[in-house]
Homo-oligomer: A and B are copies of this chain.
Amino acid sequence: MADRPRTRLHIDAPFAAGQSAALSGDQAHYLRGVLRQTPGDRLLAFNEAGGEWLADIATLAKSAGTVTLLEQVRAPAAAGPDIWLLFAPLKGGRTEYVVEKATELGAARLCPVLTRRGDVPRVNLDRLRANAVEAAEQCERLSVPVVEPLADLAAVLARWPADPLTQDRPLFVAAETGAARPLAAAVTAATASGGKAAFLVGPEGGFHPDELDRLAKTPFVVPVGLGPRILRADTAAFAVLAVWQALTGDWTAAPGEDARPPFR
């Protein structure tokens, strides 16, 4: 069987054999300027609806190009675990790192939230979405997580019970102190309730006491404990997602039981 092309690009277009699909300006620049590729070179194109396709580069200019889809190599997958990560943006490149890791760890939706003690009051949404696409390309996901605009935590909590996407979705909050269930026990108990969930990780400085009061009184909130050490916010985010996947998500199958790309 042919070698698997090393380049894997998310292309948001309908896929069919012989069909042409446009590259974004950034993708064309990357293929031409960074990878020194030329028309005729092979790559893999993927998106959630179309699956993964072998394609070749048809045209390639400085900031535009097209590929021709040749053959489907991986069928669209059933939707992955329906887990969301709500997180306060972090300083020093750690927000981008959280987006990268949460994408690899299979989060379906990433929601930056503004908290009272969050010391990063804005996010570059285009950049975070690009981080998510890039991580999806690298980790062989077919889907790219939805990255939402920054929203105020209080507003998010207020609309949670009425929004069809969030109602009946437990919100696990990483708690440093107070009454909380150990993470594994909380996750296992939640499995019975349908398998959709959201995790909220606060800012480095922790939640404001008013936020903690609000969270404690909120019926869909489940405080979870992550052990005796004080984890940095990014560590807590990786941990809750990994433990969820291992206990009740798509890590419960052995490798090889999933739909693997045929080139490996």
Contact = CB atoms under 8 A, between A and B. Distances in A.
Contacts of A106: 227, 229
A104 B107 CA distance: 22
Contacts of A259: 228
A221 interface: no
A24 interface: no
Interface of A: 97, 100-101, 104-106, 138-141, 175-185, 225-232, 235, 238-239, 242-243, 245-247, 249-256, 258-260, 264
B246 A183 contact: yes
5 contacts: A106-B229, A138-B232, A226-B251, A227-B253, A246-B247
Given A251-B225, A258-B228, A235 B180 contact: no
A256 B183 CA distance: 14
Given A227-B106, A239-B238, A239-B246, A255 B139 contact: no
A28 to B, nearest CB: 25
A5 to B, nearest CB: 15
Contacts of A176: 255
A253 B235 CA distance: 19
A247 B252 CA distance: 14
Contact of A254 (B140, B180, B238, B256): B180
A250 B226 CA distance: 9
A3 B186 CA distance: 32
Given A180-B254, A182-B254, A183-B251, 8 more contacts: A104-B232, A105-B239, A179-B256, A182-B251, A182-B252, A184-B247, A226-B246, A228-B253
A101 B233 CA distance: 11
Q: Give 4 closest A-B pairs by Cβ, nearest first.
A: A227-B251, A239-B242, A228-B258, A225-B255
